[in-house]
C-alpha cells in the first residue's frame, strides 16, 4: 500500500496549528508523519514534553511518526545508539538517521527491543544498506527515505535519484521521498526554497510531483516536506490513484458522449508490441465495436494529443491513441483531448502492457 505523509516542525510552529494540520491531513488519507529533532534546541525534558504531546495526538489519528535524528542529536541528548528507550518513551514508531554511523551500529539499532523502525537516508549512491545487512541488520525493521533540499538548485538529479532508489528496492525495502508544497513556509532551517527530493519538482504542482515519484515504481511513500500545505494540496494528493498512472487531460469542445466514455471511463492498457509514434489502447475498440464514431474535422497529430479512430478506420474504429511523436493529419481519427502540458513528461512512464487512465483537468 502506497502512503502519504506530512511534516511538522514543533520548534517552528504552534502546537494547536500542528494538531489542526494533522487532523486535516488524516481526513484526506494521510497516515504518516515526519518530524525533526535535528534543529531542536530546547532542553531534553522540554523536548520530551512537547514531542510526546504531539506524537500522542498523531497516534490518536492513527498516523505513524518517524523522528529525524543524527549522531549529533544522540550526543546532544546523551542517547546511546544501543539504548533507544528515549524515542520509545516519546511514542515514536521509528527514527530516521539523517547521517549514518558505521553499519554495525545501525544493524544493532534494527534489533532494538521496542520494535522501532530504523529509516535510512537513501540519497547517497553508496553501499550503505548492504553494509548494514552484512552486519546482520534486521531487514523487517529497516525502511528508507530520501533527503529533502531546502536550497534552490541543490535537489537530486533524476538519474542519481533512480540509482539510489534501486539500491533499496532490490532488497524489498519500503521507500519514501519528499514533495514540496507551493505555499508551505515552515521547515527545519532558515532557508526554505521548497522541500523536495528531486530538483525538477521544485516548481511543479504538488500532485504532479507525487504522480512522478509513484510512476518510477521505486517510491512507496510520499511526504510533503514543508508545512503547512494548503487544504487543496492535501485534497489533490488524497484523490490520486496510488496504483495506476492517471494523466490529466483537456477535452476537445466537440467531443461526443461516446468519446468521453472511452477516454475517461475506461482503464487503458498499452499494447505490448509498441511503436515509437503512439501509445495504442486497443481493448476499447472491441468493447465499442458496434458503436458509431462520427467523423470530425481533421487536425495534425501533435505530441500529447489523444485520438480515437472514427467510422472510416475499419477494424481500428474506437481505438484510443496517445501521440508520442508529431504526425500528419489522418481523417480516420478524431482528436478528443490532449494531455495537460505539465504532465507530458509522465507519458514516458506508460510502458508496454502498462495500465493507465485519464481524468478531466480540474
% of residues, the chain, pLDDT over 90: 87
Q: Are both 266 and 234 inside the same structural domain?
A: no
44 contacts 75 by C-beta, under 8 angstroms? no
- The model's confidence at residue 145, banded by pLDDT at 50, 70 and 90, is very high
Q: What is the pLDDT of residue 40?
A: 67
Q: Are both 143 and 234 inside the same structural domain?
A: yes
Q: Which of residues 180, 208, 242 is at a domain's end?
A: 242
Q: Are both 57 and 205 inside the same structural domain?
A: yes
Q: What is the rounded CA–CA span in Å between residue 214 and residue 32?
A: 17
Q: Are both 202 and 94 inside the same structural domain?
A: yes
Task: Please state the pTM of the whole predicted model.
Answer: 0.95
Which among 334, 333, 350 is positioned nearest to 271, based on CA atoms?
A: 350
Q: How far is CA 45 from CA 15, 16, 49, 86, 114, in A?
A: 17, 20, 6, 11, 21
pLDDT at 112 over 80: yes
Task: Provide the Cα torsion 58, 61, 64, 69; round to 10°.
Answer: -10
Q: What is the rounded CA–CA span in Å between residue 136 and residue 34?
A: 27
pLDDT in tens, 53-64: 999 999 999 999
Q: What is the pLDDT of residue 337?
A: 98
Q: Which of residues 217, 242, 267 is at a domain's end?
A: 242
CATH number, domain containing residue 354:
2.40.100.10
Q: Are both 193 and 311 inside the same structural domain?
A: no
Range of the domain at 275: 247-360
Better pLDDT: 302 or 45: 302
256 contacts 213 by C-beta, under 8 angstroms? no
Q: What is the rounded CA–CA span in Å between residue 8 and residue 250?
A: 36
Angle in degrees, CA 242, 278, 319, rounded to 5: 85
Angle in degrees, CA 133, 67, 86, rounded to 5: 90
Number of domains in the chain: 2
Q: What is the pLDDT of residue 217?
A: 97
Q: Are both 192 and 116 inside the same structural domain?
A: yes
CATH number, domain containing residue 92:
3.20.20.70
Q: What is the pLDDT of residue 356?
A: 98
Q: Which of residues 242, 259, 278 is at a domain's end?
A: 242
Q: Are both 286 and 208 inside the same structural domain?
A: no
Amino acid at each position: 500500500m502506497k502512503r502519504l505523509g506530512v511534516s511538522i516542525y514543533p520548534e517552528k510552529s504552534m502546537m494547536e496549528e500542528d494538531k489542526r494540520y494533522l487532523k486535516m491531513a488524516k481526513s484526506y488519507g494521510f497516515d504518516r508523519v515526519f518530524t525533526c529533532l535535528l534543529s531542536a534546541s530546547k532542553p531534553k525534558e522540554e523536548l520530551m514534553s512537547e514531542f510526546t504531546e504531539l506524537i500522542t495526538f498523531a497516534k490518536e489519528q492513527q498516523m505513524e511518526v518517524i523522528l529525524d535524528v543524527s549522531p549529533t542529536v544522540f550526543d546532544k541528548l546523551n542517547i546511546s545508539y544501543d539504548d533507544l528507550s528515549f524515542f520509545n518513551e516519546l511514542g515514536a514508531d521509528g527514527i530516521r538517521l539523517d547521517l549514518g554511523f558505521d553499519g554495525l551500529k545501525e544493524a544493532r539499532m534494527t534489533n532494538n527491543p521496542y520494535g522501532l523502525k530504523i529509516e535510512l537516508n537513501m540519497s547517497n549512491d553508496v553501499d550503505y544498506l548492504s553494509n548494514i545487512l552484512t552486519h546482520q541488520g534486521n531487514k523487517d525493521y529497516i525502511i528508507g527515505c530520501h533527503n529533502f533540499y531546502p536550497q534552490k538548485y541543490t535537489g537530486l538529479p533524476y538519474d542519481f535519484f533512480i540509482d539510489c532508489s534501486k539500491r533499496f528496492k532490490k532488497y524489498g525495502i519500503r521507500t519514501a521521498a519528499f514533495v514540496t508544497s507551493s505555499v508551505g513556509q515552515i521547515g527545519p532551517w532558515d532557508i526554505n526554497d521548497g522541500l523536495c527530493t528531486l530538483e525538477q519538482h521544485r516548481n511543479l504542482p504538488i500532485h504532479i510531483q507525487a504522480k512522478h515519484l509513484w510512476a518510477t515504481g521505486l517510491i512507496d511513500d510520499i511526504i510533503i516536506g514543508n508545512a503547512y500545505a494548503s487544504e487543496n494540496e492535501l485534497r489533490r494528493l488524497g484523490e490520486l490513484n496510488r496504483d495506476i498512472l492517471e494523466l490529466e487531460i483537456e477535452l476537445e469542445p466537440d467531443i461526443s458522449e461516446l468519446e468521453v466514455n472511452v477516454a475517461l471511463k475506461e482503464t487503458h492498457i498499452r499494447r505490448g508490441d509498441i511503436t515509437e509514434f503512439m501509445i495504442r489502447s486497443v481493448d476499447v475498440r472491441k468493447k465499442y465495436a458496434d458503436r458509431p464514431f462520427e467523423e470530425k474535422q481533421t487536425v495534425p497529430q501533435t505530441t500529447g494529443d489523444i485520438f480515437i479512430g472514427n467510422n472510416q478506420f475499419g477494424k481500428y474504429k474506437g481505438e484510443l491513441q496517445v501521440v508520442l511523436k508529431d504526425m500528419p493529419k489522418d481523417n480516420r481519427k478524431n482528436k478528443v483531448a490532449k494531455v495537460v502540458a505539465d504532465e507530458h513528461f509522465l507519458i514516458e512512464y506508460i510502458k508496454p502492457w502498462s495500465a493507465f487512465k485519464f481524468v478531466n483537468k480540474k
